[in-house]
């Protein structure tokens, strides 16, 4: 199987599909639609399903031999036998999306041998396309991006989910004014890659589709991303779940692991 190239077929296919999916999501943004709940913190809306269909038609239509794993599709073990698998969150940050907050994103990665080799996180409300091909750097709307160079824990700016911000005491762990609440983990990781924040962390479980594209962005932008215990991620396993997530500019990673150690998986 050929390597993924920047500007090559899979890269261009993904960017085109992301734009189409983003337009689909944006069309429904701040509009009334049917909503139901998978769990307390996880609503699903019509736009989730419509955007998922756009992505599946575009990506698997062009690459029928690639596997498919999406938050909004029934899982199939068939993906485990595929060399490459698309991993998709059609709208990450559905809570923000439904509340009219432009902090959501379409997130897609292409996984090969357990790692992301291609990924994109697109916020259509802000027209921000973060994307990366493994080994070639990370980009925002065509311009290369990189993580911050902060090396001191004092004054760091860290992103956390709104629920963790409320319930897990994040403002007490760090300088309260520097803890920023945002629901989409994919968008948070993209913002760390772009150097707008020093770190992002979640002490609560994340699925492949939540983090795999952002994982590639952070790594290609020069940062570090692991579990809070420091374990690297392997994607497209039978159970595509991860206990925690910590992304940083790299310089602060050990200090953040130490600060959040009570959340680290054993």
> What's the pLDDT score for residue 170?
72
Q: pTM for the whole thing?
A: 0.95
The class level of CATH for 9-145 reads alpha beta
**Number of C-alpha atoms within 13 angstroms, CB side, residue 188?**
28
Q: 32 pLDDT exceeds 90?
A: no
List the CATH code of the domain at 158-263: 3.40.190.80
The model's pLDDT over 126-184, given as tens digits with 9 standing for 90+, comes to 999 999 999 999 999 999 999 999 999 989 999 998 877 776 677 778 888 898 999 89
Q: What percent of the chain has pLDDT over 90?
A: 76
pLDDT for 226 beyond 90: yes
Q: How far is CA 1 from CA 65, 83, 84, 175, in A?
A: 11, 9, 10, 48
**Residue spans per domain, the chain:** 9-145, 158-263
């Amino acid at each position: 199987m050929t390597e993924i190239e920047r500007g090559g077929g899979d890269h261009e296919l993904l960017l085109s599909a992301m734009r189409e999916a983003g337009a689909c999501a944006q069309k429904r943004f701040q509009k009334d639609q049917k909503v139901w709940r998978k769990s307390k913190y996880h609503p699903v809306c019509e736009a989730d399903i419509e955007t998922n269909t756009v992505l599946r038609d575009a990506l698997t239509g062009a690459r029928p031999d690639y596997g498919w794993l999406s938050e909004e599709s029934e899982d199939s073990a068939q993906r485990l036998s595929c060399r490459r698998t698309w991993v998709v969150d059609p709208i990450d940050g559905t809570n923000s999306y439904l509340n009219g907050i432009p902090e959501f994103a379409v997130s897609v990665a292409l996984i090969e041998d357990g790692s992301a080799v291609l990924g994109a996180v697109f916020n259509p409300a802000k027209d921000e396309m973060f994307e990366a091909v493994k080994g070639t750097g990370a980009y925002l709307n065509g311009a290369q991006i990189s993580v911050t160079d902060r090396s001191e824990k004092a004054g760091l700016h860290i992103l956390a989910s709104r629920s963790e911000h409320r319930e897990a005491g994040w403002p007490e762990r760090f300088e309260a004014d520097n803890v920023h609440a945002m629901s989409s983990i994919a968008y948070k990781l993209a913002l760390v890659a772009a150097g707008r924040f020093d770190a992002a962390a979640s002490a609560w479980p994340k699925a492949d589709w939540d983090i795999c594209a952002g994982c590639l962005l952070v790594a290609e932008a020069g940062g570090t991303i692991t579990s809070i215990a420091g374990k690297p991620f392997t994607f497209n396993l039978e159970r595509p779940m991860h206990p925690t997530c910590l992304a940083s500019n790299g310089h602060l990673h050990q200090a953040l692991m130490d600060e959040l150690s009570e959340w680290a998986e054993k």
